[in-house]
Amino acid sequence: MAGAAIVALGMTACGDNGGGATPTATKKTVKVGLAYDIGGRGDKSFNDAAAAGLEKAKTDLNIEANELEAGATETEQDKYNRLKLLCQGGFNPVIAVGFVYAGVDPANGPVAKAAADCPNTKFAIIDSVVDKPNVASLVFAEEQGSYLVGAAAALKSTTGRIGFVGGCKVDLIAKFEAGYIAGAKAAKPDIKVDVNYLSTPADRCSGFNDPAKGKTAAEGLYDAGADVVYQAAGGSGVGVFQAAKAKGKKAIGVDSDQYNTVDPALKDVIITSMLKRVDTAVFDFVKSMGEDKFAAGVQVFDLKKEGVGYSTTGGFVDDIKTQLDDYKAKIIAGTITVPTKP
Amino acid sequence: MKRWDLRRVLPMIIAPIAALVLAALVSSAALLISGKDPLEAFSAMFDYAFGPNSGPDVTTEILNKATPYYLAALAVAIGFRMGLFNIGVDGQSRLGILAAGALGAASFLGVVPGPLRVVIMIIVAMAVGAAWAAVAALLKVYRGVSEVISTIMLNFIGGAIFAYLLTTERLGVKAVGGEIVSTPLLKSDSWIPGMSLFAGTANKMFGFAFVAIACGIAYWFLVGRTRFGFDLRATGLNPSAAVASGVSPKRMVIATMLLSGGVAGLVALPEVLGRDHAVTTSTPALGFTGIAIALLGRNNPVGIALAALLWAFLDVSNLPLDLLDIPKEIVTIMQGVTVLAVVVAYELAARVGRRQQQRSVGAATGEAAIVTLGIPAAIAAKLGVEAVSAPVEPPDSTAPTDPTVPGKHREEQS
């Protein structure tokens, strides 16, 4: 996927050209190692958002990076080994994409153990909090973005019924659900929201990477009367869009601006996407490393920081944009507090 | 005593080596087609697994990976030996480990001393695994349902039960800030300590590996040295002949499936007792891996051990390939080709061996004819055999005795 990865960050002339050049003080070599979640690159959603951030870092900051994919049936130990391989192989920073890398017990999971093995390597984990001096935890206020698309779904619904498809029954996805329902009720108090989760952690959250299951679940929701379905199901989301297309209904994307990432034939069912700027988080993190500004601890990417939001590509929500932006302003101002649990 | 017939044994040794070479060639070809250097790939894998830097750590890791693989393959092999296809190791091991993990961490067992709790966990894991396998066994015996179908289906049902039970409302708990559900952590007195094998790594070999080895020895003894094992093999080789010799097929099916399921229940224990100390959703089940390894190891306890090590090596050492821009899926190709090639190679080897054996039997009977019928030496010379004075021992006694003769097998086994 990528070649060797030693790159100079910052503007620097290459050594001595003519003897007059002085070496720039900001020159710094950075090798970025990135480990994907289940589903990996090509899920058109969560992992691809991380990949986009890394690509941007590669071009804008002129760095190269190495990426490793996760296997579907691997154990926590396999994840730990992957991170260890990266950090012991000289990659710094190492970015772990997804809560699975935090493990069962974040205090003693794959990232925590690898961070202890490589105390001089800086780590970042996305979507989970790992409390170590060399780990930055990049988390998102998904409920805030979901609130906005929930309002959009309710305003666009003609049947008074909307749906939600979650990839896996974990607290993280419950944040999407909670925000979505709260937003929908705020826009239309009598709206009905049907919820369907595709998997549980016990079946390894297979629902993040099972488009067929996503399709079946969405068909069920549409048949029950919903006309807009929001999916927070990673790679399974494509199935939700296919169901929407087949039934002539609408859907809402997640993480990436999915209007741009899906098969062109499915574009017109996506009225908006809840943007979770994993790309921004990855890019900013790599950039801060280049500038020697690593900060351990939790960084929350919310509406205020534009870490979450909604997309307008396709123009389906242009008519309600003022209402949505009004909610957005209120959330940023703190007059609306979005719940994180349904 | 068995007589080592080199002409029969040699093909059996050459076969797996030839299969491995073939697998390496096929994966090299796949790499060359995609424009990668196979030597670079293999040396990266070997360097990661056994090199001076990561070697101590990764070699231990390979051994630890091989331990559950070995148990899963043993479970499958027990069924194979009597012609039963237990594809349900996955479901059996998941339910077994969940029951054991939940019980081991249960507060009402807190007063029981740690080592005893480990024994209880092992027994419970085996009992639950066996019970789940018994469903398929009973269906086969009383309703004629093929165990291939029923065990596959039971995997799904077992997986669903596992998923249903391992939630925070039932058997599961969640750590602070964690997203993944597991059973409560086992008390440290019921952890099985590991063994440091190499200097330069904190990684330890699972203590449970010794239990796995003991299982291998027990398997060898049971199948090769007991009346039950003989009935098992006889039924596998020729069911109707076994029935004629007084073996009850129903009893054999149930007993074999129970044993197979019992061993399946152990599969995840090395990791749960030795490292994770809780049953998590990523606790391995390995049913299908077990089938491949049992095939590769030819149901032989030592063969399975070597196959499990090879499989573990391939699974662990592919990690650095991505860093070299070499698709690690090459390892999956290699594993697939190895199993296929081994199956084909052994079939060929068996044919060669049989032909050799027939030839020597033919020669021996020829010699016997000369002796007993008094065929003149001149004619014998024409027939191409040397005249001998003493009757010749049957050339091979490794093949099972004709099981159609009731009661005869008991002496044969002693």
Distances (CA, A) of B73 to A89, B260, B299, B301: 34, 10, 8, 9
pLDDT digits (tens, 9 = 90+) for B163-211: 889 888 888 888 887 878 889 999 989 899 998 988 888 889 999 999 9
Average pLDDT rounded to a whole number, residues A155-168: 95
- CATH number for the domain that contains residue B145: 1.10.3470
Q: Is residue B389 part of a domain?
A: no
pLDDT of residue A26: 44
Contact B281 A129 (CB under 8 A): no
Higher pLDDT among residues A83 and A26, named by residue: A83
pLDDT of residue B170: 85
A110 in Cβ contact with A103 (< 8 Å): yes
Distance, in Å, from the CA atom of A191 to the CA atom of A157, rounded to the nearest integer, reads 9
Q: Which residues of B touch A232 (CB under 8 A)?
A: none
Distance, in Å, from the CA atom of A149 to the CA atom of A261, rounded to the nearest integer, reads 18
Nearest to A81 among B167, B271, B319 (CB): B319
Residues of chain B with pLDDT > 70: what percent? 87
Range scoring the smallest mean pLDDT among A13-27, A206-220, B263-277, B386-400: A13-27
Q: Is residue B25 part of a domain?
A: no
pLDDT digits (tens, 9 = 90+) for A176-218: 999 999 999 999 999 999 999 998 877 778 888 899 999 999 9
Using the predicted structure, report yes or no on whether residue B387 has a pLDDT greater than 70. no
Tally of domains in chain B: 1
Q: Is residue B132 part of a domain?
A: yes
The predicted complex's ipTM stands at 0.81
Distance, in Å, from the CA atom of B185 to the CA atom of A125, rounded to the nearest integer, reads 24
Q: Is residue B94 part of a domain?
A: yes
Range scoring the smallest mean pLDDT among A240-244, B361-365, B366-370: B366-370
CA R_g for chain A: 21
Average pLDDT rounded to a whole number, residues B92-107: 94
Q: Name the minimum distance, in Å, from the CA of A15 to any CA of chain B.
A: 28
Across A60-74, B9-23, B61-75, the highest mean pLDDT is recorded for: B61-75
Q: Is residue B310 part of a domain?
A: yes
Closest C-alpha to A253, from A207, A195, A312: A312
* DSSP annotation of A69: P
pLDDT of residue B383: 58
In chain B, the residue whose alpha carbon lies closest to the alpha carbon of A75 is B282
pLDDT digits (tens, 9 = 90+) for B234-280: 998 888 889 998 999 899 999 999 999 999 999 999 999 999 899 98
A309 in Cβ contact with A143 (< 8 Å): no
pLDDT of residue B48: 92
Q: Is residue B346 part of a domain?
A: no
**Chain B contact residues (CB < 8 Å to A):** 48, 53-54, 61, 64, 159, 162-167, 172, 175-182, 271, 275-276, 278, 280-284, 316, 319-320, 322-323, 325
Contact A128 B177 (CB under 8 A): yes
How are beta strands A7-9 and A28-30 bridged, if at all? Answer: antiparallel
Omega cis (within 30) before B16? no
pLDDT of residue A25: 39
Distance, in Å, from the CA atom of B72 to the CA atom of B257, rounded to the nearest integer, reads 14
Using the predicted structure, report yes or no on whether residue A10 has a pLDDT greater than 60. no
Q: Name the minimum distance, in Å, from the CA of B175 to any CA of chain A.
A: 5
In chain A, the residue whose alpha carbon lies closest to the alpha carbon of B95 is A202
In chain B, the residue whose alpha carbon lies closest to the alpha carbon of A137 is B177
Distance, in Å, from the CA atom of B86 to the CA atom of A329, rounded to the nearest integer, reads 61
Contact A1 B325 (CB under 8 A): yes
Q: Name the minimum distance, in Å, from the CA of B392 to any CA of chain A.
A: 57
Q: Which domain holds residue B80?
A: 37-326
pLDDT category at A37 given cuts 50, 70, 90 is confident
Q: Is residue B172 part of a domain?
A: yes
Distance, in Å, from the CA atom of A268 to the CA atom of A340, rounded to the nearest integer, reads 30
B3 in Cβ contact with B396 (< 8 Å): yes
The residue type at A90: G
A109 in Cβ contact with A232 (< 8 Å): no
Q: Which residues of A touch B325 (CB under 8 A)?
A: 1-3
pLDDT digits (tens, 9 = 90+) for B143-170: 999 999 999 999 999 988 998 898 888 8
Model confidence, pTM? 0.83
Distance, in Å, from the CA atom of A309 to the CA atom of A254, rounded to the nearest integer, reads 10
Closest C-alpha to B100, from B208, B214, B257: B208
What's the residue count for chain A?
A: 342
Count CB neighbours of A318 within 10 A: 9
pLDDT of residue B367: 76
- Residue A324 parent element (H or E): helix A321-333
Q: Is A50 helix (H, G, I), strand (E, B) or coil?
A: helix
- Give the angle subtended at the CA of A107 by the CAs of A95 and A130, to the nearest 5°: 35
In chain A, the residue whose alpha carbon lies closest to the alpha carbon of B315 is A78
pLDDT digits (tens, 9 = 90+) for A248-288: 999 999 998 999 989 999 999 999 999 999 999 999 999 99
Contact A203 B159 (CB under 8 A): yes
The domains of chain A, with CATH numbers, are: 7-140+279-301 (3.40.50.2300), 142-275+312-333 (3.40.50.2300)
